[in-house]
Amino acid sequence: MSDNVYAVTELVGTSETSIEDAISGAIGRASETIDNLDWFEMTDLRGHIDGNKVKHFQVTIRLGFRHDPKSA
């Protein structure tokens, strides 16, 4: 295994459809501004209820992204 260094950031993704969509949406948005995304960890799961039905899934994830050395 390589000697990598990672930074970690926490995000909350939401979706009216599914937990998976909430996670994918958060990762997709993060990938627009963060390079070298390597892993995620789901740390919390919540939801919003409206009319006795699940209205939104809310998923908290920690994203790990690799710090690469600068090119010479």
Q: Answer yes or no: is 63 within a domain.
A: yes
What distance in Å separates the CA atoms of residue 60 and residue 11, rounded to the nearest whole number? 6
State the CATH number of the domain containing residue 63. Answer: 3.30.1660.10
39: in domain: yes
pTM: 0.84
| pLDDT tens, residue by residue, 18-71 | 999 999 999 999 999 999 999 999 999 999 999 999 999 999 999 999 988 776
Give a three-class secondary structure readout of the chain: CCCCEEEEEEEEEEECCCHHHHHHHHHHHHCCCCCCEEEEEEEEEEEEEECCEEEEEEEEEEEEEEECCCCC
- Asked if residue 42 is part of any domain, the answer here is yes
The total domain count for the chain is: 1
CA distance 5 to 44: 25
